[in-house]
Structure 1
Amino acid sequence: MKKKILYVEDDSTLAFLTADNLEQQYDVAHFTNGKEAYAAFKKEDFDLCILDVMLPEMDGFELAAAIRERNVEVPIIFLSAKTLKEDRIKGLRLGADDYLVKPYSMEELILKIEVFLQRSQKQAPAKNTLCTIGSYTFDPANYAITRAGQTIQLTERESALLRLFIDNKNTILKREKILNEIWGNDDYFLGRSMDVFISRLRKIFRDDESIRIENIPRIGFKLVAP
């Protein structure tokens, strides 16, 4: 069965060319505005989302945020003519898996689609058991961390990042290793996104002084925990 892709693009010419290429391998549902796309997302299951940023009624950033509220796992790729690094970082902060700047090559887009689809299908049952870190309990299967009866919901990427830190507790992790394992490459903009995710984890653990994520200058990070 073909994987189902939600594709949102209001440029009719670009949408036709892209959808025509993608439909050779995938089941593509194309929409021209964010509201219609989100309505479809709420009714159907999609394996991956490809979103333009500049969309009528609901822009791509708003759409991605709404999608993430309902589903923290589905891969999201932004396609945009907006080249400012602030826009790329904003997209990645919203939980997108990648941000391609127009004009993009179909070969690159399809390669990224395949990478993210394969990654989302990987299962690691042995790593889905509950684990304790300081006064917190981490549930990787449900992307959740609990302390004193209070549960914080993580995104899939936050959960994967925390899992990597726990698996390498009290050991320095190089920035390149983190980026390649969690994001798939060590692009500069993805590095900025990683810093945002690490800041988020630090805030989660701030009430337990026995846990800290240390910045090792020009090398990487180290999770220090009992």
Structure 2
Amino acid sequence: MKDKVLVVDDDETVLNMLYKIMKSNGFLVETESSGIVALEKIHAETYSLILLDINLQDMDGFQLLQSVRQAGITTPVIIISGRKEDYDTLYGLDLGADDYITKPFNPIILAAKAKALLRRSQGSLGTNPTLLSAGPFEYNTVTMRFYKNGEEIILSSKENAIIRLFMDNVNRVFSKDALYEMVWDNDIVDDSTIVVYMNRLRKKLEEDFSNPKYILTVRGLGYRFVA
């Protein structure tokens, strides 16, 4: 069954271009120019991926993304925006986006990123349930759901990939280069991206964000997950 993608952009030219790119790469594609209607669709239907513009006429794309994540919807989201400022990129990632691509973009690169993101988000599916346990945490490798003390913690696609890696390798130190390779498939990201994701996870996992005891920074080396 083909993966279904929702493309949200109020520029008709860009919307048509994204539709053609994704359809030619084997996706089922729905398009929407209204952020409000797109949000209703996301709540009502299941999508494998969302391509989201920020500058929508009726609703800010960041607001839409925040609403989606607050509702516990973990569908991978790629922001596609004409804004090139680092602040916008980091803000989008902090709200729960899985990737951020600026316009103009290379159609080949966009399709490759979309496919890689779907592989990562769906890569843990299998037929035999496996429950990983470490301290107060549990991770189901089939449903890809993560729990602390029995309560589910909602994770984005990349947060999910990081936690799976950590749960498989408790107490192991991962360098930033290793995280780039294992989580981002060597996509070009900078150190600040890693920091954003670790801070997001700490906010979700730690009792005291300023004094983490589960996700530790190993100075000069990287990060270690302990439980």
TM-score, normalised with respect to structure 1: 0.83
The 1:31–1:163 alpha-carbon spacing in structure 2 relative to 1, beyond 3 Å, is same
Residue 171 of structure 1 deviates from its aligned partner by 2.2
The 1:27–1:187 alpha-carbon spacing in structure 2 relative to 1, beyond 3 Å, is same
**For structure 1, which runs of at least 5 residues remain unmatched after alignment?**
none
Give SS of 1:83's match: coil
Separation in 2, partners of 1:18, 1:163 = 31
**For structure 2, which runs of at least 5 residues remain unmatched after alignment?**
none
- Aligned CA-pair RMSD: 2.6
Alpha-carbon contact 1:75-1:116 (below 8 Å) kept: yes
Alpha-carbon contact 1:6-1:30 (below 8 Å) kept: yes
Residue 116 of structure 1 deviates from its aligned partner by 1.5
Q: Which residue of 2 aligns with 1:80?
A: 81
Residue 54 (structure 2) pairs with residue 53 (structure 1): yes
Q: Which runs of 4+ in 1 moved over 4 A?
A: 124-127
Q: Which residue of 1 aligns with 2:123?
A: 122
The 1:66–1:87 alpha-carbon spacing in structure 2 relative to 1, beyond 3 Å, is same
Give SS of 1:23's match: helix
The 1:223–1:27 alpha-carbon spacing in structure 2 relative to 1, beyond 3 Å, is closer
Cα displacement string for residues 125-167 of structure 1 (whole angstroms, at most 9, x for unaligned residues): 578404132xx132344633333x6x25231433432332232
Residue 217 of structure 1 deviates from its aligned partner by 2.9
- Number of residue equivalences: 219
Q: Which residue of 2 aligns with 1:168?
A: 169
The 1:183–1:72 alpha-carbon spacing in structure 2 relative to 1, beyond 3 Å, is farther
The 1:186–1:116 alpha-carbon spacing in structure 2 relative to 1, beyond 3 Å, is closer
Alpha-carbon contact 1:9-1:51 (below 8 Å) kept: yes
The 1:69–1:109 alpha-carbon spacing in structure 2 relative to 1, beyond 3 Å, is same
Separation in 1, partners of 2:124, 2:152 = 22
The 1:120–1:13 alpha-carbon spacing in structure 2 relative to 1, beyond 3 Å, is same
Residue 184 of structure 1 deviates from its aligned partner by 2.9
Q: Which residue of 1 aligns with 2:198?
A: 198
TM-score, normalised with respect to structure 2: 0.83
Structure number with larger C-alpha Rg: 1
Separation in 1, partners of 2:29, 2:66 = 21
**Seq. identity, %:** 30
